[in-house]
Amino acid sequence: MERRVLVVGGGFAGLYAAVALSGAPVRVSLVDRRNHHLFQPLLYQVATAALSPGDIAQPIRHILRRHRNVQVLLGEATAVDVAGRRVRLADGAALPYDWLILATGAGHAYFGHEEWRALAPGLKDIDDALEIRRRLLLAFEAAEREADPERRRALLTFVIVGGGPTGVELAGALAEVARDALARDFRAIDPRQARIVLLEAGPRLLAGFAESLGAAAAGELAARGVDVRLGTPVTGLAPGRVEAGAERIAAETVVWAAGVRASPLARSLGVPLDRVGRVLVEPDLSVPGHPEIFVVGDLAAFLHDPGAPGVPLPGLAPVAIQMGRHAAANVRRAVRGEPARPFRYRGRGMMATIGRNAAVAQIGRLRLTGVVAWLVWVLVHVRSLIGFRNRLLVLVEWAWAYLTFNRGVRLITGVAGLPPRRPAEAEPARRARAS
């Protein structure tokens, strides 16, 4: 009987592992709790109403439809039964394996304050992005109906926690939403008065990038009116309020883009994890003592990079893709009875975009900023999007947004209502600006 490879997770690492096992003399199953692969680098554009979810996500089974030895299953993995060589699912099923490739990624860490999660959603999947979009747009709607100037100001204050690529990209995009897309759509408020605050605990933005690029990003954000606060860790969150040391910011909308916590599935392996819960993998990406289990992508802490030994590889799409392919190649070798080979990351550069005509990028020793970096960013991202259809649609959306300064997908879906108001505020804020 054919031997079984189970891939858990349909992100970049898992998807590319499954593709790389196509045609191998094994039976491959890929299981994910979502039916779609997500092009995560553009997720912030869904959160800020520039793209539709369908533009950056594709059904995993559709992507893999031509790989006839690969089956895609919908299900949520809850534990690895290492001794029994199977993975348990939330619905009670168990999937057996001869080789396992674990690629369940990471979520946000709230530094021991799990109660902050509801107040400040993170940005990891499409439902997160739609929730953030809903909150951003509802804040402007509530402000339009708010008579009290203090509360209106809190509704128009947006705090983004974390100055990594996601935080920088969200802050830049949100500044454009307020300044351009919404500028003429309201009567009682002026969306251009919105205040966007980016809080970063560390001394600089984009800690993983060259120092000059972090400074360039801070400058570009400031030029767009974003209030960038470095060395400012969040110490408290309450509804309508952010505390950062002695300072209190009255803000109704907070988005979390800080801290990483690996998927809890790693704990069931019973092997050493690093501080954020990632699996300390062997040089060949396998788990210590279990050559049949590989861990790839954001779930893996790979400390064997010759360029920086002891420092984990960053959680980037190119790292995940190369790890997924490498684990698949090692499975193929094992099937043939050959020994596994060590993984070696081939650096592909990093980039973050700040907005219209502005980005930062580093590719090898090259440092790019401004329009040039932005053009490289557009090319790289459109080129990488899975599927011709998405590429075309994203190009249409972007061209339209670029030409009109507008954002096409400003829909509030799900729970749409405003919170109940106190009787004293019952009259709408009509003409607050005109008077």
Residue 397 annotated to the active site: no
How buried is residue 238: exposed, middle or buried, by Cβ count under 10 Å (0-12/13-18/19+)? exposed
Give yes or no for residue 392 binding its own copies (CB under 8 A): yes
Q: Which stretch binds its own copies (CB under 8 A): 13-21, 104-112, 247-255, 385-393?
A: 385-393
Task: Restricting to residues 144-173, name those near its own copies by CB under 8 A.
Answer: 144-145
425 makes contact with its own copies (CB under 8 A): yes
91 forms part of the interface with its own copies (CB under 8 A): yes
DSSP 273: B
Q: Is 95 in the site for its own copies (CB under 8 A)?
A: yes
Q: How far apart are CA 134 and CA 149, in angstroms?
A: 23
Say how far apart CA 99 and CA 324 lie, in whole Å.
Answer: 13
Q: How far is residue 257's CA from residue 26's CA, in Å, rounded to a whole number?
A: 39
Between CA 110 and CA 118 the distance in angstroms is 11
* Helix %, strand %, coil % of the chain (to 5): 35, 25, 40
Choose, by CB under 8 A, the member of 3, 22, 76, 291 that binds its own copies.
Answer: 76
Does position 137 bind its own copies by CB under 8 A?
yes
Near its own copies by CB under 8 A: residue from 186, 283, 333, 347: 186
Part in contact with its own copies (CB under 8 A); list of ranges 156-164, 276-284, 329-337, 391-399: 391-399
| Residues in binding contact with its own copies, number by CB under 8 A | 72
| Of 244, 245, 139, residue with least CA distance to 199 | 244
- Per-position DSSP letters for 341-364, written without gaps between them: ---------EEEEEETTEEEEEET
**Nearest-approach distance from CB 115 to its own copies, in angstroms:** 23
CA nearest to 19, candidates 321, 248, 267, 265: 321
Choose between 101 and 376: whose C-beta lies nearer to its own copies.
101
CB of 114 to its own copies, least distance (A): 21
For its own copies, the binding residues in 395-424 under the rule CB under 8 A are 396-397, 400, 404, 406, 408-414, 416-423
- Site residues for its own copies, window 1-40 (CB under 8 A)? 27, 29, 33-36
Q: Applying CB under 8 A, does 79 fall inside the site for its own copies?
A: no
CB 125 to its own copies: min, Å: 9
- 3-state SS, residue 228: strand
Spatial neighbors of 359 by CB under 8 A, at least 6 apart, are 351, 352, 353, 368, 369, 370, 373, 374, 376, 377
Residues numbered 304-363 forming contacts with its own copies, rule: CB under 8 A:
none
Minimum CB separation of residue 85 from its own copies in Å reads 15
Query: Is 71 one of the binding residues for its own copies (CB under 8 A)?
Result: yes
Bridge partners of 100? 6, 293
DSSP string, 151-180: HHHHHTEEEEE--SHHHHHHHHHHHHIIII
Q: Is 179 in the site for its own copies (CB under 8 A)?
A: no
Q: Which of 81, 90, 231, 372 binds its own copies (CB under 8 A)?
A: 90
Active site residues: 169
